[in-house]
Amino acid sequence: MNLLFHLLLLSLLQYWTSSYTACAPNRYGRRCNYQCKCKSSEDCNDGPKGNGNCTPRLNVSLLSTDATRKEQLRSSPFLANFQLLPTTFDQMTMDEHTGRTSRQIYGASGARILPAPFRNPALNVVALDHELAFFLGLEIPANLNDGHTRDLAEVFSGRKLLPGSITFAHGYAGHQFGQWAGQLGDGRATTLGDRLGLDGSHYEISLKGAGRTAFSRSGDGRAVLRNLVREFLSGAFLNAVGVPTSGALALVGSDQDMDGIIRDEYYTGSPEKLKPGVLSRVTPSFIRFGSIQLAAKRQGLDGVLKLARHALTIIDEQERNGDRSFFKYFAKNKNLLARVDEEIRENCFFAPRKQDTCAGSSRGGGGSEMLECFLDRLVARTAALIAAWDAVGFAHGVLNTDNMSLIGVTIDMNVFGLITDYGTSHDFSPNFIDDDKRYKFGHQQKMAAWNLARVGDALMGKTRFVGGDRDSDSETNKKTTSAHDYFLTPEKVRQQIAEFNGRYQLCYEARLKWRIGLVGSSMVTSNAIAAWHDWMRAANVDYHKASRALGEFAKNSDDRDVGDAIIKASTTRSVPKLLSI
């Protein structure tokens, strides 16, 4: 009897602690046992992670005018005059439905949505990047009063809209850990609009953690505040060391229990309520490898061409004006930079180009020439980006095709890490659910090449992708004779992607030469780099501390002096000797 009682108790416990993976529309709760009570003009926060809260459904005809938005921000003129542009929105095809309910979307690359506000009326501005704000033309006062702080929190949590803002969520698909995952999309991010930076390039501003969208699936659309702090810091760090990366303009958080979100972050079976936040991310564009995959799958040739043309426009701006990270790091050391070959500066350090690439001339075309140029620039910029990661010891941790930028910048720093002991760094993975270490530090080059091949599949017009793709295609994606004339041939795709490893190696060596102070191109420099790696691997030293030790060389030391010293020290494998050179 005792045994039966305990078994019954265990069964009841499992029943009440278990959670469904999805609910019928307008049902919510762990077991979908609650019914939403929202008006027809409202969306319900439904699903297993939902709480039944009702938020206004986007009604384009009822959106506030720019004049009204400016009036709402009249106590903060610096925000009222921060007019956004619809640059990205104008290049996207939007779904005709505007509800927040999760759904499969065909024939579109995005879905309009309003940010879902926190319930807490008094939010906290956790962090601001004043330098990035100034770069975007947002002149935040040095001495913020209570009204300024309140308006900053309202705007960068999504509760108030800036003038010119047209909000939407990106749609994209992706391969996750090598398997086709189908439609994914911005499940917790909402784009506000674009701004012209001081360099003349456009920058997209997006709120991460701003609530559910059409792409949320069973998620709640929120983000944990402490995780957003890591992303804020990682963007600042990578840009500061010359790696193209999305920046963070502001971080807003709620410390009220009413806004708390339930997470079992480490899959221990013990979920806890955590503080949520919203991160205002800034980058030239948030389109991804998975964006072109979804376009090929559900929009056909027209969708692929439109997205590739948009990507080339952004790339052309970046190549003509240079990446923001170049000016934050490399351009500050003019004497050292002068010793770097111009081609290396442009191809590997993302410096402004003196001569346009095909990105400036091909995007006006509508055929295979434009797609060929797009793939060429994507391969080149991705190779330079991965080389930059590896040179600074950055492990991204989750290189799915939906987490890689279509313009060659670092995005989605969710589970990143930095290597320490160099001897074991090849197997380092910051992603605790990556059991097979698919995305470990030593595999980043390999995984980037694999992901580029998946973009190549889309550019060839394939309608079935590797990795267990069983998705149905849109009728707009049926192949026609004319479409074959525009998509790339398998041979052309192979030729382009075959350039990746060589471009990576060129940029990796250039980055390492800069890192250890050997920016020349003599043979002793190359030998010194090889010896440097051999020594670090054998001694299993901390990569960053060992690199910093080289900063103790006299400023007037030339490449040969430093190189000879490294080779000599690495031959003896003497840690104290090398660090005391």
Closest C-alpha among 486, 498, 238 to residue 379: 498
Strands (DSSP E) contained in 122-246 are 124-128, 168-170, 173-176, 179-183, 189-196, 202-208, 223-224
**Separation CA 392–CA 547 (nearest Å):** 10
Amino acid at 534: D
Report, in angstroms and rounded to the nearest whole number, the Rg of the chain calculated over CA atoms. 25
What span, in angstroms and rounded, lies between the C-alpha atoms of 392 and 369? Answer: 35
The whole-angstrom separation of Cα 278 and Cα 205 is 12
Q: Which residue has the tokens 């010119």?
A: 164
Q: How far apart are CA 295 and CA 458, in angstroms?
A: 8
Contact criterion met (CB below 8 Å) for 50 and 218: no
Burial class (CB in 10 A: 0-12, 13-18, 19+), 145: exposed
Q: What angle do CA 113, 114, 115 make, to 5 degrees?
A: 120
> Which uninterrupted H or E stretch holds 447?
helix 444-459
What single DSSP character describes residue 85? B
Give me the catalytic one of 402, 469, 471, 559. 402
- Indicate the length of the chain as a whole number: 581
CA 150 to chain centre: 28
Exposed/middle/buried for residue 338 (C-beta within 10 Å: 0-12, 13-18, 19+): exposed
In the residue annotation, 186 being an active-site residue is answered as no
Locate 288 and state its tokens. 């991804």
Q: Is 465 left (phi over 0), alpha (psi -120 to 50) or beta?
A: beta
* Enzyme catalytic residues: 402
